[in-house]
Chains A and B, each alone.
Chain A
Amino acid sequence: MHDKLAIQLQSQILEEIAKTRAKGVLIDISVLEMVDSFIGRMLSGMASMAAIMDTSVVIVGMQPAVAITLVELGLEMPGVDTALNMEKGMEMLERRLNTRKQDFQ
Chain B
Amino acid sequence: MLMQEIAYDIKCELLGKFKIETEYDIVTVRQTIRQCAKDAGMGIVDQTRITTAVSELFRNMYNYAGGGEVLIESGEVDNHNALIVTCIDKGPGIENLELAMSDGYTTSMGMGYGLPGAKRLVDRFEIQSKVNEGTTVRIMKWK
Contact = CB atoms under 8 A, between A and B. Distances in A.
A35 B113 CA distance: 13
Given A2-B27, A3-B23, A37-B56, A75 B51 contact: no
Given A38-B59, A73-B52, A33 B116 contact: no
B47 A65 contact: yes
Contacts, number: 67
B45 A69 contact: yes
B8 interface: no
15 contacts: A2-B27, A33-B48, A33-B51, A34-B30, A35-B52, A37-B117, A64-B45, A65-B47, A66-B48, A68-B48, A73-B113, A74-B113, A74-B116, A74-B120, A75-B111
Interface of A: 1-4, 33-38, 41, 63-66, 68-69, 72-75
B130 interface: no
A36 B34 contact: no
Contacts of A41: 109-111
> Which of B103, B117, B120 has the most C-beta atoms of chain A within 10 angstroms of its own C-beta?
B117
Chain B's interface: helix, strand, loop or mixed, by majority? helix
Contacts of B103: 74
A32 B52 CA distance: 12
